[in-house]
């Protein structure tokens, strides 16, 4: 999962790009980069680490130009390394280009092998670099036809923002796996993974980019075209964006994320009520479903754990050691609230089970009399190949354990998950979501050797 931003026709493009990255930092904490174009050349700053650590007043001022694209990364193809920091920047036939990508291609190995046979030399281990080589080979005078020809060769999940000299191009795959929205700021346009980025810039949310749509923005002019066959493609919005990844103040897939999470909690309460003294969520993503759960059952909702906001998102840390460290320091239970009481703990999901087990242990140590855990999505039984770094099936606890076995492992008095049918019932566009992580049924063919580090094993 990554966050991408594009700024067109703005005198402070680099500053706006930074604000966009800051708003989208939850989508990736490994690296961040900004590329601008001043009419003659590109200016680039990209580093490992958080956007707020990588950019300050002095270096943002060096990013000259009225157009910019930016990227904050959470690696799903290619390792967490300097060589893989985006945006990717190249010059082809004296024409500067850059690309920022959110998602995963499913035909990466096929394209990579073909391009290598044709003489391409790769500098990274990301699927995103394949797109740059395809662009270099297909270049022609008509920008629209050029990009349509290249994007039509891609399969899988992609929301993309390109910079080609003073033009910004945004594209979304025909299935619509990952979100991408269009905003307006002054005379210019903005593209961003989520609408919350527009709020920080005080920009107007215009609409979501449609699945299969390509928008070409030059100055204050915008043109929209669609990839061949886009209207016939099965829609497959990632339902996990609504469950966990997207910010609750964002509008994606035609709905507000906060409202979706509350509805998930309310549906969970209908399916699996529990007798307890109060309901609490695991901050922050579990709070919204917990509030919906409590309101549906007319139970008290309390903040039972306090989050250290200087610690990043646990799920998207690249190693188990860092995940476990952050679990210990990220959340602290309020003993005076919990001691001697029966609590319902609402969480958005369980992936490996180790994080939930540690959190439940802390709540138990704070003196909880009973702990009833409720999960606002179905059990995750299959890996994701469309842009979320869910591990292999052997690491997904629900792939091999029953609900009762998971309850025993994390040491709760009871455990229940929201049903697949219940989850889909609260979505506004019920037939438009990818639920493969819950069902093992993938909307697109997955290569048998699919692997996050596949391009490092060539």
Mean pLDDT by 10 residues, the chain (458 residues): 95 97 94 96 95 93 97 73 90 91 93 92 89 88 91 96 97 97 96 98 97 96 96 95 96 96 98 98 94 98 86 54 61 94 98 94 97 98 89 90 98 98 91 94 81 50
Looking at 234, 269, 284, the residue that finishes a domain is 234
Contact 15, 60 (CB under 8 A): yes
SS3 call for 149: helix
Ramachandran angles phi, psi of 3, nearest 5°:
-115, 135
pLDDT at residue number 331 = 85
Range of the domain at 67: 3-234
10: closest CA among 202, 200, 169, 185?
185
Looking at the fold, whether 207 and 256 belong to one and the same domain comes out as no
Half-sphere CA count of 392, side-chain side, radius 13 A: 7
Looking at the fold, whether 288 and 168 belong to one and the same domain comes out as no
Nearest-angstrom CA–CA distance, 447 and 107: 8
pLDDT at residue number 329 = 66
Looking at the fold, whether 327 and 416 belong to one and the same domain comes out as yes
Count of structural domains within the chain: 2
Q: Is residue 311 part of a domain?
A: yes
Q: Provide the pairing of β-strand 42-48 with 31-37.
A: antiparallel
pLDDT at residue number 339 = 98
> Which segments of 298-419 does DSSP mark as H helices, in order?
320-330, 335-338, 354-365, 397-400, 403-410
319 Cβ contact partners less than 8 Å away, ≥ 6 residues apart:
none
Examine the residue annotation and report whether 377 is marked as an active-site residue of this protein. Answer: no
pLDDT at residue number 107 = 93
Looking at the fold, whether 282 and 200 belong to one and the same domain comes out as no
Looking at the fold, whether 7 and 132 belong to one and the same domain comes out as yes
Looking at the fold, whether 288 and 325 belong to one and the same domain comes out as yes
Nearest-angstrom CA–CA distance, 202 and 186: 10
Q: Is residue 166 part of a domain?
A: yes
pLDDT at residue number 285 = 87
Q: Is residue 451 part of a domain?
A: no
CATH code, domain carrying 202: 3.60.20.10
Looking at the fold, whether 211 and 265 belong to one and the same domain comes out as no
Looking at the fold, whether 226 and 323 belong to one and the same domain comes out as no
Residue written as token pair 């670099």: 129
Among residues 2, 238, 384, 434, which one is catalytic?
2
Q: Is residue 450 part of a domain?
A: no
Looking at the fold, whether 174 and 262 belong to one and the same domain comes out as no
Q: Is residue 444 part of a domain?
A: no
SS3 call for 287: helix
Looking at 234, 268, 286, the residue that finishes a domain is 234
248: closest CA among 231, 233, 263, 229?
263
CATH code, domain carrying 401: 3.40.50.2020
Nearest-angstrom CA–CA distance, 308 and 262: 23
Looking at the fold, whether 196 and 270 belong to one and the same domain comes out as no
Looking at the fold, whether 189 and 305 belong to one and the same domain comes out as no
Q: Is residue 446 part of a domain?
A: no
Task: Give me the DSSP letters along 213-242.
Answer: EEEEEETTEEEEEE-TTGGGSPP-EEHHII
**Residues recorded for the chain:** 458
| Cis preceding-peptide flag for 87 (omega within 30 of 0) | yes
């Amino acid at each position: 999962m990554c966050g991408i931003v594009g700024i067109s026709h703005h005198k402070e493009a680099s500053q706006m790009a930074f604000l966009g990255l800051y708003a989208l930092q939850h989508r990736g904490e490994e690296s961040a980069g900004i590329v601008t174009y001043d009419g003659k050349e590109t200016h680039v700053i990209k580093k490992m680490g958080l956007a707020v650590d990588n950019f300050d007043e002095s270096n943002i001022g060096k990013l000259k130009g009225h157009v910019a694209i930016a990227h904050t990364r959470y690696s799903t193809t290619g390792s967490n390394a300097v060589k893989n920091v985006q945006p990717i920047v190249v010059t082809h036939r004296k024409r500067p280009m850059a690309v920022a990508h959110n998602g995963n291609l499913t035909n990466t190995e096929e394209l990579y092998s073909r391009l290598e046979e044709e003489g391409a030399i790769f500098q990274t281990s990301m699927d995103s670099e394949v797109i740059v080589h395809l662009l270099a080979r297909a270049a022609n005078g008509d920008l629209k036809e050029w990009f349509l020809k290249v994007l039509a060769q891609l399969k899988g999940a992609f929301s993309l923002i390109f910079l080609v000299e003073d033009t910004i191009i945004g594209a979304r795959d025909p299935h619509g796996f990952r979100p991408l929205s269009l905003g307006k700021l002054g005379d210019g346009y903005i593209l961003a993974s989520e609408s919350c980025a527009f709020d920080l810039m005080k920009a107007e949310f215009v609409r979501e980019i449609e699945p299969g749509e390509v928008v070409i923005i030059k100055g204050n002019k915008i043109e929209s075209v669609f990839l061949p066959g886009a209207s016939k493609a099965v829609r497959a919005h990632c339902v996990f964006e609504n469950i966990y990844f997207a910010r609750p103040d964002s509008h994606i897939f035609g709905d507000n994320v906060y409202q979706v999470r509350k509805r998930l909690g309310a549906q969970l309460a209908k399916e699996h009520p529990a007798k307890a003294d109060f309901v609490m969520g695991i901050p922050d993503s579990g709070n919204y479903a917990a509030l919906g759960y409590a309101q549906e059952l007319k139970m008290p909702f309390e903040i039972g754990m306090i989050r250290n906001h200087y610690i990043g998102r646990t799920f998207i840390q690249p190693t188990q050691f860092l995940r476990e460290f952050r679990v210990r320091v990220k959340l602290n239970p309020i003993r005076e609230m919990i001691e001697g009481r029966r609590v319902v703990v609402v969480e958005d999901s369980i992936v490996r089970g180790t994080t939930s087990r540690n959190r439940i242990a802390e709540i138990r140590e704070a003196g909880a009399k009973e702990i009833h855990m409720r999960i606002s999505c179905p059990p995750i039984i299959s890996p994701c190949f469309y842009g979320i770094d869910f591990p292999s099936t052997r690491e997904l606890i629900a792939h091999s354990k029953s609900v009762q076995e998971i309850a025993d492992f994390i040491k709760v008095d009871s455990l229940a998950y929201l049903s697949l049918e219940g989850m889909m019932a609260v979505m506004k566009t019920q037939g438009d979501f990818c639920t493969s992580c819950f069902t093992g049924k993938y909307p697109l063919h997955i290569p048998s050797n699919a692997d996050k580090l596949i391009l490092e094993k060539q």
